[in-house]
Homo-oligomer: A and B are copies of this chain.
Amino acid sequence: MIALGEILIELNALSPGPLRHVSYFEKHVAGSEANYCVAFVRLGNNCVYLGRVGEDEFGHNAIEWLRGKGVDVSHIKFDSSPTGIFFIQRDYPVPSQSESIYYRKGSAGSNLNPDDVDESLVKSANLVHSTGITLAISETAKEAVFKAFSLNEVRSFDTNIRLKLWTPEKARETIMRLLKVHPVKYLITDREDAEILLGKVEDPVKPLMEYTDVLIMKEGPHGASVYYEGRKHFSHGYSVPVRDVVGAGDALGGTFLSLVTSGFPIEKALDYAVVSSALNVTIRGDQENLPSIKDIETFLERVRNS
Shortest Cβ gap from A6 to chain B (Å): 15
Contacts of A85 in B (CB 8 A): 103
Do B64 and A69 touch (CB < 8 A)? yes
Q: Which partner residue on chain B sits nearest A106 by CB separation?
A: B105
One complex includes copies of this chain to the number of: 6
Q: Within the assembled complex, what's the spacing in Å between the Cα atoms of A243 and B241? A: 10
Do B241 and A92 touch (CB < 8 A)? no
Contacts of A20 in B (CB 8 A): 57-58, 60-61, 64
- List the one stretch of A127-135, A198-206, A254-262, A280-288 in contact with chain B: A280-288
Given contacts A23-B23, A97-B302, 19 further A-B contacts (CB under 8 A): A20-B60, A20-B64, A21-B283, A21-B288, A24-B26, A25-B25, A64-B69, A66-B68, A67-B67, A68-B69, A91-B282, A91-B283, A92-B295, A93-B279, A93-B291, A94-B299, A94-B302, A94-B303, A95-B282
In the assembled complex, 25 residue pairs joining A and B whose CB atoms fall closer than 8 Å, in A order, are: A11-B25, A15-B283, A17-B285, A17-B289, A18-B289, A19-B57, A19-B61, A20-B57, A21-B283, A22-B27, A23-B27, A24-B24, A64-B68, A64-B69, A64-B70, A91-B241, A91-B283, A93-B279, A94-B302, A95-B241, A95-B279, A96-B240, A105-B106, A220-B306, A241-B242
